[in-house]
Amino acid sequence: MVTTSGAVAAISEANDFRELNSFNLSFQLTGATMTTLQKTAVVTGSARGIGAAVAKRLSNDGFSVAILDLDEAACKVVVDEIKSAGGEALPVAVDVSDEQSVEQAVAHVAEALGPPTVLVNNAGITRDNLIFKMSVNDWDAVMNVHLRGSFLMSRATQRFMTEAKWGRIVNLSSTSALGNRGQTNYSAAKAGLQGFTKTLAIELGKFGVTVNAIAPGFIETEMTAATAARMGISFEDFKAGAAKQIPVARVGQPDDIAAMVSFFAREESSFVSGQVIYVAGGPTD
């Protein structure tokens, strides 16, 4: 018996088995029944940090994973790790803020790994400054990577998901969406991603595609290490200071976010869409 609602929806929408086959739907009947559609995931900004952890987690969950980042050599390091653990992965150089680069990268993924049905919009940058010192370039750079990048990547991949009648998009927001001194650009972009998430969930729901956002609190990565360096504080002191403000008394790790992405990407999560989950070690607002 097929128990997952995604599969039931796919079956009721399909008129015959030929149509089912054209959706590239296959069933793996294991103990608790599970369906497997095209299991190709794309994770942007996955050459390091949260993105790399997400890519490895999705690989463990059975996805072939496209590692997208600015520098192909950096992507290859993560690809090698996934492959040596028995997974399938592909390094792809991309600038998510560039339309042509995104279109080429997604076409390459579809050809080499199969049509992407999971997208994690994770690539990000910070260009922090108080508003009176913030340059137009720093404003635009942050908007372009987070907002334009998520728009371009979602537009390029949704066509495969709607065709497959199944898909998952997960956007990386931040607790900074609620306001954070020195981050008007980043906070506006991360709040913008929350509206983007809800609207995309409304548009794509009828195609079996869910869209959710994760808003992490402090996660130990090179991004937060760079913030500490900019502030002239050692990373250890910076983390200890942050942990004191967090109810679970520790800073987050990339795997904490990867676990949430894994949940959203599951078949059984098909009734959860348009949500923003704060993964921050405590309540945030």
Q: Which is nearer to ligand NAI, 22 or 179 (CB)?
A: 179
Task: State the sign of the Cα–Cα–Cα–Cα dihedral 15, 7, 195, 149.
Answer: negative
Query: Is residue 219 a contact point for ligand NAI (CB under 6 A)?
Result: yes
User: Alpha-carbon dihedral of residues 118, 121, 123, 124, nearest 10 degrees?
Assistant: -160
Tokens of 232: 């002239």
Q: By rule CB under 6 A, what string of x and - marks binding of each residue 58-87 to ligand NAI?
A: -----------xx-----------------
* Binding of residue 102 to ligand NAI (CB under 6 A): no
Contact between 185 and ligand NAI (CB under 6 A)? no
The one-letter amino acid code at 47 reads A
CB of 168 vs ligand NAI, minimal distance in Å = 17
Among 23, 151, 160, 186, the one annotated catalytic:
186
3-state SS class at 34: strand
Output Rg (C-alpha) for the chain, integer angstroms: 19
Q: E strand or H helix at 170, and its extent?
A: strand 167-172
| 234 Rama class: left (phi>0) / alpha (psi -120 to 50) / beta | beta
Q: Is 186 a catalytic residue?
A: yes
Closer to ligand NAI by Cβ: residue 34 or 143: 143
Task: Pick the binder of ligand NAI from 64, 224, 270, 273 (CB under 6 A).
Answer: 224
Q: Are β-strands 118-121 and 40-44 bridged in parallel, bridged antiparallel, or unpaired? A: parallel
Q: Tell the smallest beta-carbon distance from residue 58 to ligand NAI (Å).
A: 15
Q: Which residues are near ligand NAI by CB under 6 A?
A: 44-45, 47-51, 69-70, 94-97, 122-125, 145, 149, 172, 174, 216, 218-219, 221-224
Catalytic residues: 186
